[in-house]
Amino acid sequence: MDKINLPETLKNAKSGSQIAYSKLLDYFWNDVYGFQLIRTQNENDAEDITVQTFSKAFDKINTYNDDYEFKTWLITISKNIHIDLIRKRKRNILETSGSNDVIKKILDDAPSVEDQLIIEQNLATLLLHIKKLKPHYQAVINLRYFNELSYADIAKELNEPMNNVKVKLLRAKKLLAESLKHKN
């Protein structure tokens, strides 16, 4: 990754610049993701926590103190989100132990074989590359570009904060662009 002018980029991010957010996301993504991958030993959890980290950081960017390293601030946010996730999972395990309702809901939400065949028959090159993305990235791209929903509507649909949606969409577009670039 190319170097960025961090003070200027942070100043622009504090002013609400989406380009600055994108630069910060691209520049620090691997640091935060790598930190979480070591902690969680799970790619999906590491990615989810990283998305939440940037969402929270961008939401609270005006509270960042320039006396400290920005990367350290991000890692601290990330660490706290991971701790909260562990606590929440422990609580959920205690509340749902012995209940098969969660398993039934997951099975009911899975697409049928017929649905999968229809999707595969209608895919163009772009859709094939979208399909290679992780499900949560597919969802935000489909909702934004195929269903033409606003960020607010996507946030409602996914029951996530709008900043999470923006970060996921940024990341999804970057991964899709990389996939398309390497198709040859």
Domains and CATH numbers, the chain: 6-96 (1.10.1740.10), 111-181 (1.10.10.10)
Q: How far is CA 59 from CA 64, 67, 86, 161, in A?
A: 11, 19, 22, 10
Per-residue pLDDT band at 30 (split at 50, 70, 90): very high
3 state SS of 144: helix
Instruction: Using alpha carbons, select from 161, 120, 157 the residue that is nearest to residue 141.
Output: 157
CB neighbour class for 124 (10 Å; exposed up to 12, middle 13-18, buried from 19): exposed
pTM, 2 dp: 0.61
100 or 178, which is more confident: 178
CB 46 within 8 A of CB 78: no
3 state SS of 104: helix
Instruction: Using alpha carbons, select from 114, 118, 96 the residue that is nearest to residue 105.
Output: 96
What is the chain's alpha carbon radius of gyration, rounded to the nearest angstrom?
18
In the numeric block, the tokens 């990754």 are attached to 1
How far is it, in rounded angstroms, from Cα 48 to Cα 33?
Answer: 9
For the segment 4-15, what is each residue's pLDDT rounded down to a tens digit?
899 999 999 999
For the segment 136-168, what is each residue's pLDDT rounded down to a tens digit?
888 998 888 788 888 889 999 999 888 888 888
How far is it, in rounded angstroms, from Cα 119 to Cα 179?
Answer: 20
Packed helices 70-96 and 18-40: angle between N→C axes, nearest 10 degrees:
60
- pLDDT of 123 > 70? The answer is no
The confidence score (pLDDT) of residue 1 equals 46
For the segment 36-75, what is each residue's pLDDT rounded down to a tens digit?
999 988 888 888 899 989 989 998 999 998 888 999 999 9
